[in-house]
Structure 1
Amino acid sequence: MESPSSTSMTFVILVLFQVCLGQLVSAGFPFDRQQRHFVKEVFTCPPKDGFYPIPNVCTGSYYSCVNQVAYEMSCPGDSVFDPAVNVCVPAGQATCQVFQCPAQGGFYHIPGTCGNSYYSCVEGIPYVMNCPGTSIFDPIVGVCVPKEVASCSTTSTTTPSSSDTTTTKYSTIPTGPTPTIAPFTCPDAFGFYPTGIPCDDQFWRCSNTYAYLMTCPPTTIWNQATTVCDYPFAVPGCG
């Protein structure tokens, strides 16, 4: 049985926690009741405290910076965070364009960008995800690839000749293969799977239980361990 002093101390701690929680909520720090903690994201805050948009997206999520620490926040209801005024507004009044998931699930590039971030749609709701390392989300194959071979990038390569040097640039217009529905049974509704051929440059992409045979960009092959198109030397047994 707890002593009166222990009971009083527990009550005091509970009150202090509720006060701190109320201060955080009033400051704009909603408590995640499912994860039971305040969600902290890796984000470089500007010198001034305040609310900031997540780069290159238009959703109901945003960052709250306090003492150079960034916290991911959510707007109430269906409102979105407007990067022009840095406040939550009704979706129809936002200066940015809200991304609409083409399907209930899948991975999609962020329109107008060619970078590390992309959308992951779950039950029709877009979530911002990041590729590992310095890789780029390729809008053609729908996976992360080395930035040098991404179809949307403008990487320059130099080819020496007997007289001069020729510079070739990859096109910024998607020119990759068109996915085709193939006879493959998806283990799950969404995901990426190997073809079964060692060191293959193709892989299966499952979306809404439909299987699509995809081809990695030139000079890369499928790496099932990291679920990205990668250089052969980075895939065990393919170097």
Structure 2
Amino acid sequence: MKILILFGFAVCFVAGQDFDCPEKSGFYADPYQCDLYYKCTKGKAEARLCPDGLVFADENPNKELCDIPSNVDCGDRKELQEPKPSKGCPRQNGYFKHPDPQACDKFYFCSDGIPNEHPCPPGLFFDEETSNCDWKDVVQRQCDKVTKGKTCPDGEVQGPNGRALPHPTFPHPEDCQKFYICRNGVQPQKGSCPSGKVYNEDTFMCDDAEKVPGCENYYEGQPLEKNKLPKKA
């Protein structure tokens, strides 16, 4: 690890010597490496490196900002520092797909090499290119097992107000917290209620466990977790 740190410092030092600063002081991107940038002061360049997994946002030379790659257009700056992976994290920071190839509705948010598992909102899959959750046909990931054995019924499904539901939902046959969304009435997708809630097939919504017959004791003895998406780095 010490060798890697010293090597990275040496690379930054050499890069800083080779970079020609603009006349105006500020923060400027390296022309080749997206996570390498320079602090220019009176024509003198000091090389700096974003944390592993983040890249330099070069829109404003007055701002020193490293962000996730999906928020930055690196253009021709294709190179990156050597990754520093840890268990569950391909790089130290960022949003990454779940290691289980069939868990498309979950993702890992890594901060300083520590992975945190998070679920997508019901019916959505994680898209690593955008670091967001989106519809299955937009993400285009093969996750057939999440809806294996489930088909959508023929015809319209009426909601509590008597109107046809464009994306009707149905309870999971074995798990009170889970349900299925039939997108456009024909394409089944897996969904899950937030921790502490269960699916209520009478209201087509997630509800308190004690309000759903047969699911009253679903969370008994289980620690509740916060199922909220983290803010982007």
TM-score, normalised relative to structure 2: 0.26
Greater relative contact order (Cα < 8 A, sep 6+): 2
Structure ranking higher in strand proportion: 1
TM-score, normalised relative to structure 1: 0.26
